[in-house]
Amino acid sequence: MRTSTVHRKTKETDIKIKLNLDGTGSVFTDTEIGFLDHMLNAFGRHGRFDLDIVARGDPEIDSHHTVEDTGIVLGQAIKEAIGDGRGITRFASISVPMDESVATATIDCGGRGYLVYKGDFSDNPLGTIPGDMFEHFFFSLCINAGITGHLSFSGRNDHHKCEALFKAFGIALDKATKTDPDKTEIPSTKGVL
């Protein structure tokens, strides 16, 4: 079973994440930020990961530290659960529509963290989160997970755009981390991810 538990405590946040890549979509999130919980729930359920996230931050300042550090810790948990990557598919691409919006996530779980992010939110926050924080969330996640992510989205409704993006990323990650019992090698010409 490809699982991980990562706990990271700083002067700003205290975050614990349990992840099972081979789960059924059982998700519990408590970040104290309702919209972030909603997005993480969409990510886990559609990616079919078992995910348990408890995050405490400094909401008296704003949501920045909690959102950023949750991305960091989730990335670390994904990297740990993938392990050496033996037998994984490695690459995946998916587009997800949500009403007038559509998001595409194309990823490579090849060990090199990178993010290309195309799309904009309005100046209105999503719940209590400024829209630009979601690029920062995915950057933190991809860098710490060793995932190259090309993420794009368009539409009119910010909620729909963001939710489609989290669903697309979850489904792409599920596809990229699937293992094939007939393939036991590490999917890289270098021999390591």
What's the CATH number where 122 sits? 3.30.230.40
Q: Tell me whether residue 146 is in a domain.
A: yes
Within a domain: 140: yes
Q: What is the pLDDT of residue 192?
A: 82
Distance CA 108, CA 36 (A): 24
69 neighbors 159 (Cβ within 8 angstroms): no
d(C-alpha 105, C-alpha 117), whole Å: 10
Residue 182 within a domain: no
CB 145 within 8 A of CB 112: no
| pLDDT under 70: residue ranges of the chain | none
Rounded (10°) CA dihedral 159, 73, 132, 106: -70
Whole-number pLDDT of residue 168: 98
Segments forming the whole domain that contains residue 136: 3-177
Determine, yes or no, domain membership for 76.
yes
| pTM for the whole structure | 0.96
Is 192 a domain residue? no
Contact by Cβ (8 Å): 129, 63: yes
51 belongs to a structural domain: yes
Which pLDDT value is given to residue 158?
98
Question: Looking at the domain assignment, is residue 47 inside a domain?
Answer: yes
The pLDDT of residue 1: 73
In the chain, the number of structural domains is 1
